[in-house]
């Protein structure tokens, strides 16, 4: 019976190899060294298999950082790091052979310079993903380039320099070859190149994936001499530091670099006689790239492509989008959550009151939607940090954050001279809580190159509504934070929207409504307000607002007639509307104020 110890086990190659080893009749145990977070993925490769034993460890640590088996027959080192530590373990475990994948020159010298453990080397050419499942291995930069070029009409012919030949093989084929060669008798130090049956021109590798993506194909290649002339001209231009830096920056953004090309090119013929002789009669041969390029590209586009969220956004679909809404238990937040849930979004509900969140979550579930509740006091910094950690741990990221939670105080500034806490409280909820949550989620959005933050602000920022100095100051801070952050992060796929709402009839405005504080001024319904938030989520416009009552109009009037606009704001917004029950308001208050202004020549 045979035991195996495999490093790099969580990779596509590693999981394929482990499956093949477990199929062998004489296999006793396969130990797989991996990080604990990869255990679930490993177990899916060998479900309910008692002979498969994942081990937590670290190749960078002596002894591999954990408790290792005392004896193994084969150590298969699929990683290019930690070679010395893996070799030391092989000696301790009495391994019959040490199998090294793609060693560096230094590591090969180390392995060849010892005779305690027989060693063999395996050198696959450029390795692609699994030809059966499509799971990619290391071709992400090429696929990203193809994906971006797919936005160009597919019928457009492309020209490219002759970049030589490429040799590509799928990971499942490499795994099958390894499984065979590991059990083939060979002297220590034998090296096995693993190549495709026939190399392809580099542009044909691109064309195979371009066909899968609907991208334009290369139909003309420039002769090598002409390509060399172009390279010489490029080197000449590169002498100018600014041009060199610009070229590198642009090519890096589209996923094209000399390093990428070098990885695919095979500049010299490689002698794989030893491999072909060892595989004779095995029936193993690499499938042609054209047979599996579509499979790999489809898998990558659906599961790996960092721009896949952006593609779904272009379709205006919310299905599957993770939308976190604060202040979700009532009012605008509640109605927004119900609406996006109906459109298939996974809604993450945040508010202080756990019972109301649970009721909303249950209502969404009854209507076939998906929602999770996260009770949190957003004014507690530690609680917000814990919320970010929990959400990212459970969902990997948030696609849309809606900063809706808010606190409003309607009080004249002269009545607040001894109430600094009014301003501190509004800033704590409306600004600092929203900023803290946004800052916590931004790194994951930047990593995924997509994210959208919707800040629910107010039309009062346009018409400067009197008696709301505490509330408007906090919303102005949030609004400017969003505008500036959006200008900084635009090219990274992260956008900010500000939804400038007029007065909305919610629990927050109810106390003032009871004594007719707003006179004849119409209040927006929560349903209409939620529809504007939804519009911001879908369109990602920088500002979403309505013309009435007097938002953009007030801004225009302030530019055209600033003194008159200021006077009308005072008379209509302050004097005609009472600050509290029993205050003088309406025409008498306006008349008195006009008299004061005329007397003092305002």
pLDDT at 32 over 50: yes
Q: Taking a C-beta distance cutoff of 8 angstroms, is the pair 142, 244 a contact?
A: no
* 3-state class percentages of the chain: helix first, strand second, coil last, to nearest 5: 50, 15, 35
Q: How far, in Å, are 26, 49, 100, 351 from residue 113 at the CA level?
A: 32, 38, 14, 64
- Burial classification of residue 44, based on how many CB atoms lie within 10 Å of its CB (0-12 exposed, 13-18 middle, 19 or more buried): exposed
Helix (DSSP H) and strand (DSSP E) numbers for the chain: 25, 21
pLDDT at 316 over 90: no
| Full-model pTM | 0.66
pLDDT at 535 over 90: yes
Rounded to 10 deg, the angle between the 202-213 and 140-149 helix axes is: 60
6 or 420: which leads in pLDDT: 6
pLDDT at 280 over 90: yes
- Tokens standing for residue 539: 């369109």
Q: How far, in Å, are 392, 417, 424, 463, 571 from residue 471 at the CA level?
A: 31, 15, 10, 13, 20
CA distance 316 to 420: 44
Dihedral angle computed from the Cα positions of residues 131, 132, 134 and 137, in that order, rounded to the nearest 10 degrees: -50
CA distance 354 to 370: 17
pLDDT of residue 198: 86
DSSP structure class, residue 128? E
By three-state DSSP, how is residue 37 classified? helix
126 forms beta bridges with 168
Give tens-digit pLDDT for 132-147: 999 988 767 788 888 8
pLDDT at 594 over 70: no
* Arithmetic mean of pLDDT, 297-301: 90
In terms of Cα–Cα distance, which of 408, 403, 406, 372 is closest to 390? 372
pLDDT at 167 over 70: yes
DSSP of 247-267:
HHHHHHHHT--HHHHHHHEE-
- Tokens standing for residue 384: 């917000």
pLDDT of residue 34: 87
553 or 3: which leads in pLDDT: 3
> Over pLDDT 90: what percentage of the chain?
51
Per-range mean pLDDT, top range of 146-150, 465-469, 572-576:
146-150
If you search the block for the tokens 């008379």, which residue do you land on?
A: 571
Per-range mean pLDDT, top range of 164-173, 296-305, 350-359, 509-518:
350-359
By three-state DSSP, how is residue 157 classified? coil
Reported as a pLDDT band with limits 50, 70 and 90, residue 357 is very high
Number of residues in the chain: 602
Reported as a pLDDT band with limits 50, 70 and 90, residue 74 is very high
In terms of Cα–Cα distance, which of 201, 223, 200, 219 is closest to 211? 219
Give the range among 73-87, 267-281, 326-340 with minimum mean pLDDT: 267-281
pLDDT at 65 over 60: yes
Q: Taking a C-beta distance cutoff of 8 angstroms, is the pair 363, 374 a contact?
A: no
CA distance 377 to 351: 7
CA distance 320 to 311: 13
Reported as a pLDDT band with limits 50, 70 and 90, residue 514 is very low
pLDDT at 571 over 80: no
Mean pLDDT of the chain: 85
Q: In whole angstroms, what separates CA 7 from the centre of its chain?
A: 28
pLDDT of residue 252: 67
Q: How far, in Å, are 3, 23, 41, 95, 529 from residue 10 at the CA level?
A: 18, 18, 7, 22, 48
Instruction: Report H helices in 270-429.
Output: 273-279, 293-303, 308-314, 331-342, 354-366, 381-395, 420-426
* Arithmetic mean of pLDDT, 507-527: 64
Alpha-carbon torsion (176, 182, 186, 189), positive or negative = positive
- Buried b / exposed e over 392-406, threshold 16 CB at 10 Å, is eeeeebbbbbbbbbb
pLDDT at 184 over 90: yes
pLDDT at 406 over 60: yes
CA distance 399 to 359: 24
- 431 is known as an active-site residue: no
pLDDT of residue 409: 80
pLDDT of residue 48: 76
Give tens-digit pLDDT for 79-112: 989 999 999 999 999 999 999 999 999 999 999 9
- Buried b / exposed e over 93-130, threshold 16 CB at 10 Å, is bebebbbbbebeeebbebbeeeeebbbbbbbbbbbbbb
Pairing, β 322-326 against β 74-77: unpaired
pLDDT of residue 577: 67
Catalytic residue (one of 31, 192, 299, 471) = 471
Give tens-digit pLDDT for 422-474: 888 989 999 999 999 999 999 999 988 899 999 999 887 777 777 777 888 89
pLDDT of residue 235: 67
pLDDT of residue 567: 65
pLDDT at 33 over 80: yes
Give tens-digit pLDDT for 464-507: 777 777 888 899 999 999 999 999 999 888 999 999 988 887 77
pLDDT of residue 515: 43
């Amino acid at each position: 019976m045979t035991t195996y110890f495999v490093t790099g086990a969580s990779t596509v190659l590693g999981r394929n190899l482990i499956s093949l080893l477990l199929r062998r009749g004489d296999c006793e145990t396969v130990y797989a060294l991996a990080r604990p977070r990869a255990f679930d993925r490993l177990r899916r490769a060998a479900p309910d298999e008692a002979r498969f034993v994942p081990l937590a460890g670290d190749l960078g640590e002596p002894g591999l950082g954990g408790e290792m088996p005392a004896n193994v027959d084969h150590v298969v080192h699929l990683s290019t790091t930690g070679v010395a530590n893996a070799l030391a373990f092989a000696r301790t475990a009495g391994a019959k052979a040490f199998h090294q994948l793609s060693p560096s020159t230094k590591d090969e010298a180390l392995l060849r310079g010892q005779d305690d453990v027989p060693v063999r080397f395996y050198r696959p050419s450029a390795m692609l993903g699994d030809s059966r499942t499509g799971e990619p291995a290391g071709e992400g930069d090429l696929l990203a380039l193809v994906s971006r070029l797919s936005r160009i009409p597919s019928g457009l012919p492309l020209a490219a320099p002759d970049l030589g030949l490429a040799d590509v093989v799928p990971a499942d084929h490499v795994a099958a070859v390894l499984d065979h060669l590991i059990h083939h008798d060979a002297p220590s130090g034998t090296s096995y190149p693993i190549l495709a049956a026939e190399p392809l021109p580099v542009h044909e590798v691109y064309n195979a994936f371009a066909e899968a993506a609907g991208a334009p194909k290369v139909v003309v290649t420039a002769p090598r001499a002409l390509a060399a002339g172009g390279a010489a001209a490029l080197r000449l231009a590169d002498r100018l530091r600014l041009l060199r830096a610009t070229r590198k920056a642009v090519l890096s953004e589209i996923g094209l670099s000399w390093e990428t090309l070098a990885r695919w090119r095979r500049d010299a013929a490689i002698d794989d006689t030893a491999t072909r002789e060892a595989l004779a009669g095995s029936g193993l041969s690499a499938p042609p790239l054209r047979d599996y390029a579509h499979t790999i590209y489809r898998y990558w586009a659906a599961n790996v492509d960092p721009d896949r969220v952006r593609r779904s956004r272009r379709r205006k679909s919310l299905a599957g989008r993770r939308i976190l809404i604060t202040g979700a238990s009532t009012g605008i937040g509640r109605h927004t959550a119900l609406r996006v849930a109906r459109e298939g979004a996974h809604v993450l509900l945040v508010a202080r009151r756990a019972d109301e969140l649970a009721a909303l979550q249950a209502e969404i579930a009854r209507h076939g939607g998906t929602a999770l509740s996260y009770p949190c006091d957003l004014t507690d910094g530690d609680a917000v940090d814990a919320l970010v950690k929990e959400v990212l741990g459970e969902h990997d990221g948030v696609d849309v954050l809606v900063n809706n939670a808010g606190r409003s105080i309607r009080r004249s500034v002269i009545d607040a001279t001894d109430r600094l806490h009014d301003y501190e409280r509004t800033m704590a909820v409306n600004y600092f809580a929203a900023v803290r949550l946004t800052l916590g989620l931004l790194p994951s959005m930047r990593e995924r190159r997509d994210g959208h933050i919707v800040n629910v602000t107010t039309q009062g920022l346009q018409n400067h509504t009197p008696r709301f100095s505490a509330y408007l100051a906090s919303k102005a801070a949030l609004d400017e934070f969003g505008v500036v952050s959006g200008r900084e992060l635009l090219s990274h796929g992260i956008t900010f929207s500000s939804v400038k709402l007029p007065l909305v009839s919610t629990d927050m405005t109810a106390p003032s409504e009871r004594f007719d504080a707003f006179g004849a001024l119409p209040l927006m319904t929560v349903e209409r307000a939620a529809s504007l938030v939804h519009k911001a989520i879908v369109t990602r416009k920088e500002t979403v607002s309505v013309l009435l009552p007097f938002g953009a109009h007030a801004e225009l009037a302030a530019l055209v007639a600033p003194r008159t606009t200021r006077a009308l704001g005072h008379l209509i917004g302050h004097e005609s509307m009472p600050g509290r029950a029993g205050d003088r308001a309406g025409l008498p208050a306006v008349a008195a104020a006009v008299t004061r202004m005329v007397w003092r020549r305002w």
